[in-house]
């Protein structure tokens, strides 16, 4: 592969990730006509159109999708290798893009990210808080934080927390009006504040622990939300039984604003993991973030 082809592929991948030539030019700090010319040259060398361009959007052709998918990991590895050598004589610098769920940003990252920025002033930290499932390579992220069972294959993963209990709770007033469930079967007579996944548009199933078995429970729905803060808010407003991770709801349980429901049946979910592509940690800007977050990992939580 000659240098020109390598640069053309980098520009092509950036156009796909950013969604337009102008956005890719801004990210690469190039003139938009240069980016457009590079794309045309690459298409000419492939003898196939790679992107269908209209006045409103750009879409990958079948050939473009194949080229993007097959070259992205290799180009990323080459970029990290070059950056690793360059880092030998420089302080960590550049942009590091991290994707994570909103509640993780609130609970885990907000207490520590300012310290990281102060420690590494030449690194620009870009945080994307979203509960949607993200392919970090194709969407241009350097690392992500997700539950251990939701990490893409082929990623390096490092634990940030132990397994987490998934709590059920309700307000004292709700339980006074409707009674306190004593068994999972009692939940049929109550309403659930339901969560809908943004990416899949699916409702989150309610699963509880029944001895050694994990059981799925069907409940009437009070309302459906796609934000975890709304679950706790709706529960405090007496609309139904909520479900969320115990560490995040524990302050409200301790204050009495919310009351545990069926605590002996709460299931345990995999903990949170920091994950990233193979070889990306060779780049110092990424390695220092990995080391920093792992040093702030939560080794244990009270289970009750």
User: Does this chain's domain 91-159+271-295 share its CATH topology with 164-269?
Assistant: yes
What are the CB-based long-range contacts (under 8 Å, 24+) for 174-180?
174/235, 174/238, 174/239, 174/240, 174/241, 175/259, 175/261, 177/238, 180/259, 180/261
Judged against a pLDDT cut of 70, whether residue 76 lies above it is answered with yes
What is the pLDDT at residue 63?
Answer: 87
Label residue 3 by pLDDT band (50, 70, 90).
Answer: very low
What is the pLDDT at residue 243?
Answer: 96
Judged against a pLDDT cut of 50, whether residue 130 lies above it is answered with yes
Label residue 86 by pLDDT band (50, 70, 90).
Answer: low
What is the pLDDT at residue 302?
Answer: 52
Residues 220, 5: Cα–Cα separation, whole Å: 58
Over the chain, what is the mean pLDDT?
A: 88
The H-or-E segment that residue 221 falls in is strand 221-225
Q: Which CATH number fits domain 3-87: 2.60.40.1930, 3.30.2130.10, 1.20.58.340, 1.10.10.10?
A: 1.10.10.10
Query: In this structure, are strands 213-217 and 51-53 parallel, antiparallel, or unpaired?
Result: unpaired
What is the pLDDT at residue 300?
Answer: 57
pLDDT in tens, 208-238: 999 889 999 999 999 999 988 999 999 999 9
Mean pLDDT of 105-120: 92
Q: For the chain, what are the domain ranges?
A: 3-87, 91-159+271-295, 164-269
Close Cβ partners of 188 (under 8 Å, ≥ 6 residues apart) = 218, 219, 220
Judged against a pLDDT cut of 60, whether residue 298 lies above it is answered with yes
Label residue 1 by pLDDT band (50, 70, 90).
Answer: very low
Residues 129, 229: Cα–Cα separation, whole Å: 14
What is the pLDDT at residue 245?
Answer: 93
Residue 193's SS3 state is strand
Close Cβ partners of 42 (under 8 Å, ≥ 6 residues apart) = 5, 8, 9, 11, 12, 50
According to CATH, the superfamily of the domain at 91-159+271-295 is Periplasmic binding protein-like II (3.40.190.10)
pLDDT in tens, 156-171: 999 999 999 999 999 9
- CATH assignment of 164-269? 3.40.190.10
The CA radius of gyration of the chain, in Å to the nearest whole number, is 24
What is the pLDDT at residue 87?
Answer: 60
């Amino acid at each position: 592969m000659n240098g020109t082809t390598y640069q053309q592929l980098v520009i092509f991948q950036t156009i796909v990730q950013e969604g337009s030539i102008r956005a890719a030019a801004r990210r690469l700090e190039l003139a938009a006509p240069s980016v457009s010319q590079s794309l045309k040259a690459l298409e000419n060398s492939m003898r196939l159109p790679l992107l269908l361009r209209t006045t409103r959007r750009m879409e990958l052709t079948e050939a473009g999708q194949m080229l993007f998918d097959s070259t992205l990991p290799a180009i990323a590895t080459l970029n990290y290798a070059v950056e690793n050598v360059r880092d030998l004589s420089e302080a960590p610098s550049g942009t590091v893009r991290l994707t994570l769920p909103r509640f993780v940003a609130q609970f885990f990252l907000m207490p520590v990210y300012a310290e990281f920025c102060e420690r590494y002033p030449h690194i620009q930290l870009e945080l994307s808080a979203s509960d949607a499932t993200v392919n970090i390579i194709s969407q241009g992220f350097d690392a992500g934080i997700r539950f251990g069972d939701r990490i893409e294959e082929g990623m390096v993963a490092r634990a940030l927390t132990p397994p987490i209990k998934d709590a059920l709770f309700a307000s004292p007033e709700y339980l006074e009006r409707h009674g306190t469930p004593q068994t999972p079967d009692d939940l049929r007579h109550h309403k659930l504040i339901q969560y809908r996944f943004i990416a899949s548009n699916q409702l989150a199933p309610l699963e509880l622990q029944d001895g050694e078995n994990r059981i799925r429970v069907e409940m009437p729905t009070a309302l459906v939300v796609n934000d975890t803060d709304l679950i706790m808010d709706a529960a405090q407003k007496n609309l139904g039984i909520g479900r969320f991770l115990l560490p995040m709801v524990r302050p409200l349980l301790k204050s009495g604003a919310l009351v545990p429901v069926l605590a002996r049946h709460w299931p345990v979910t995999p903990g949170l993991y920091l994950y990233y592509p193979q070889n990306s940690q060779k780049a110092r800007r990424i390695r220092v973030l990995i080391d920093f977050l792992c040093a702030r990992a939560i080794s244990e939580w009270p289970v009750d």
